[in-house]
Amino acid sequence: MANMLVFITGASSGIGEATAMAFARQGTRLLLCARRADRLAKLEPELRSAGAADVKSFALDVRDRAAVNAALAQLPEDWKTIDILVNNAGLSRGMSKVQDEDNPENWEEMIDTNVKGLLYVTRSVLPGMVSRGRGHILNLGSTAGHMTYANGTVYCATKSAEIAVSEGLKLDLMGTPVRVTSIDPGIVETEFSEVRFRGDAARAAKVYEDLTPLKAADVADAIVWAATRPAHVNIHQILMTSIDQANSLVVNRRSS
């Protein structure tokens, strides 16, 4: 994979950061975006030290279609030939019943990021992959897209949509060598829950209490594995959890 160009959205922390590090160790060039440009800037030297051939990062909110199109159009020519796109940017907001949600902006942020943002970035990158005759799109899904859980209606809906988009893309791309993979992890210990609960660290910690969750590096390992299969092999989907999770509803919490 040396010198291949990998574009990762939401790369400033969690799975995105771990995926950047995993691809750096493969000697790839890394194109990274996130809303927090300061964190990307701090990450760049670490990625170079880990083996990245080169790193370029920029601030981007994938919810803004015009900004997505402009940012990618303005890239230098040698940063436009993206070989691998990891659509990692995503989030959840709150855990309320639909009838009790008093902030519908939570719904809009999840839909705009997890579904529309994924589509905006993919639409900007995919034509180049098709014309060059190579490429791989890896979309971050969730066990939540396979089984809906209480108080997570809209988040689960967005992850169900991600699975449908990934399946549809594979159909759209039949006859081309461009690959599509959905990576669907269960509970992963990252900033995800703090974001969901808007900085309530104590509440977020309870999500991971008395169980062994996945780590961001575990998911990054699966992403790199899927991307490094022979060019004729397409891994459609990886559904993964830790040993303490069976699905969205069943987890094993050990007594303290």
Closest CA to 35 of 85, 86, 77, 91: 91
Q: Give the pLDDT score at 161.
A: 98
Contacts 24+ apart (CB under 8 A), 63-68: 63/109, 63/112, 63/113, 63/116, 63/117, 63/120, 65/116, 65/120, 68/117, 68/120, 68/121, 68/124
Domain ranges of the chain: 5-240
Alpha helices in 88-228 (DSSP H): 105-111, 118-132, 153-172, 192-196, 201-207, 216-227
The listed CATH number (1.10.40.50, 2.60.40.10, 3.40.50.720, 3.20.10.10) that belongs to domain 5-240: 3.40.50.720
pLDDT in tens, 21-54: 999 999 999 999 999 999 999 999 999 999 999 9
The catalytic residue among 120, 149, 155, 208 is 155
Query: Is the model's pLDDT at 222 over the cut of 80?
Result: yes
CA distance to 55, 93, 138, 140, 147, per residue, from 58 (Å): 10, 24, 20, 20, 35
Q: Give the pLDDT score at 210.
A: 92
| 8 A C-beta contact, residue 31 and residue 110 | no
| 8 A C-beta contact, residue 176 and residue 130 | yes
Query: Is the model's pLDDT at 236 over the cut of 90?
Result: yes
pLDDT in tens, 105-152: 999 999 999 999 999 999 999 999 999 999 999 999 999 999 999 999
Query: What is the chain's mean pLDDT, rounded?
Result: 96
Q: Is 208 a catalytic residue?
A: no
The type of residue at 159 is K
Q: What is the mean pLDDT of residues 152-166?
A: 98
Our CA angle for 233, 236, 242, nearest 5°, is 115
